[in-house]
Amino acid sequence: MDFRSVVKACEAAGDVSRVEAIIGRSALPERVRHEERRGNRALVFEHVEDTPARIVGNLYGSAKRVCRALGAPDYATLFARLDQAIANPATPVRRATALDDVDVIGSPDLPRQLPVMRYSRHDAAPYLTSSILLVRDPASGVHHLCFVRMAVDGGNELLVNPATTRIRRIVETALQRGDTLPVAILVGAPSAITLLGCVNVGADVDKLAVAQALAGNTLGFTDDALPIPVGCEYVLTGRIVPRYAREGPVGDQKGLYSLRARNPTCVVDALHVRRDPWFHSVSGGVSREHVELVTLGPRAVLERIKRDTPELLRYELPHHAGGRLGVLVVADGFRPAALAERLWAISSVRGFVAVNRDVGARRAADVLWAIVERARDASQFAFSPSGLPGIKPGKFFIDATESDLGDWNHRRIDIFRPRR
């Protein structure tokens, strides 16, 4: 689905609230935060001051809306389909470059022409947080997509934070040679492109080909040198150049301000905007939408582990931990440490706790109780070792399970409720 179709599908399901009142741009993050605590619906702001576009917030702020956008009943089905698309990629379908409903602005004044904003009190600048960076890897020739935060630096320039391993390698390889890297920045992209911007598909796999296989004939691309998905609300085309500046501080998903002292500049040569545009705004920091999007990659890996590990009953990446904690509910008697080696490779999750089925994996108090009462031996605590390629040292794994729940001393109390 394209971005507008996703909004309409969620609205038809009663999961969108349209805000008709005139609202200032700076008030949007708090309005989204308020909605997260109530109905957690997506919000469409119809009338934002000094902004010609509708602004859509919290669109992917729940699992059901993510799955609805991609035509799947649940995450298990969605990620099974993704794995099929990775195994059987399709050649991207090219369509004519000229699009009747798109205006093109050369050398745009981005602070004026994009409805960007600050999401946290001490953000150093307005940020593009819903921006998906599209590049061609010069080494392999395949296309890569990933979400990348970008500070609006003024005029037609952005400061880019290439935080994940693959995009950092691509950017640094090009810039260290003194080259520039042609890019397209997508805002309000089709849902298959959004998913591929969040997940890892393996080295030298073309993400556009995977997206095409996942979406089928509903997805198409321009016939430009860098093929752009048709149906994006905003597309910024330009190049990352070997010119660096300080980017940040900015509130991020860890619940902390993130500061990168030296990040490269992207020069935007042209801004392509659909007529009557809809701007996708992802509230930075610990918003539900930010956390849900960040955890799509870990969920894809955990679903693969779950499919071939019957003893893993379910998992949670609770919002209260910002997606940085994985809670694994395992069958009684299962040794969860057997999974540790596979878990270390999930890059954005800081640690894992395994619990029995009598523990509420979404409730922080329940997980803490399990750690205090059931993780009683040093052997139940493990940390990822240093020196493993692609794995950050110091990740933790806590086996907070009890192997013998037949012993009354090991059973968690169950409140007695008399029958009426």
Distance CA 288, CA 192 (A): 20
Same domain, 281 and 170: yes
Residue 418 lies in a domain: no
Task: Answer with the one of 224, 259, 294 that is the final residue of a domain.
Answer: 294
Same domain, 70 and 188: yes
Q: Give pLDDT tens digits for 186-217.
A: 999 999 999 999 999 988 899 999 999 999 98
Residue 403 lies in a domain: yes
Task: Answer with the one of 267, 294, 321 that is the final residue of a domain.
Answer: 294
Under the banding of pLDDT at 50, 70 and 90, the label for residue 420 is: confident
Q: Domain containing 389 — which CATH number?
A: 3.40.1670.10
Residue 417 lies in a domain: no
Give the 3-state secondary structure of residue 365: helix
Residue 197 lies in a domain: yes
Q: Domain containing 185 — which CATH number?
A: 2.30.110.10
The amino acid occupying position 155 is G
Distance CA 414, CA 412 (A): 6
Under the banding of pLDDT at 50, 70 and 90, the label for residue 362 is: very high
Residue 333 lies in a domain: yes
Same domain, 239 and 325: no
Residue 419 lies in a domain: no
Same domain, 171 and 213: yes
Backbone angles phi, psi at 378, to 5 degrees: -60, -30
Backbone angles phi, psi at 332, to 5 degrees: -60, 135
Same domain, 368 and 285: no
* Residue 119 predicted with pLDDT over 90: yes
Which residue segment(s) compose the domain that 400 sits in?
A: 309-410
Least confident of 14-18, 85-89, 237-241, 392-396: 392-396
Same domain, 241 and 344: no
Same domain, 269 and 323: no
- The percent of residues in the chain predicted with pLDDT above 70, rounded, is 98
Distance CA 365, CA 370 (A): 9
Same domain, 56 and 189: yes
Task: Answer with the one of 240, 259, 294 that is the final residue of a domain.
Answer: 294
Residue 302 lies in a domain: no
Q: How many domains are contained in the chain? A: 2
Residue 420 lies in a domain: no
Give the 3-state secondary structure of residue 132: strand
CA-CA-CA-CA dihedral for 112, 116, 117, 120, to nearest 10 = -150
3-state helix, strand, coil in the chain (%, to 5): 30, 30, 45
pTM of the entire predicted model: 0.94
Same domain, 276 and 389: no
Same domain, 286 and 323: no
Same domain, 70 and 130: yes
CA distances from residue 196 to 20, 130, 143 in whole angstroms, order as listed = 32, 13, 11
Same domain, 329 and 384: yes
Least confident of 287-296, 301-310, 380-389: 380-389
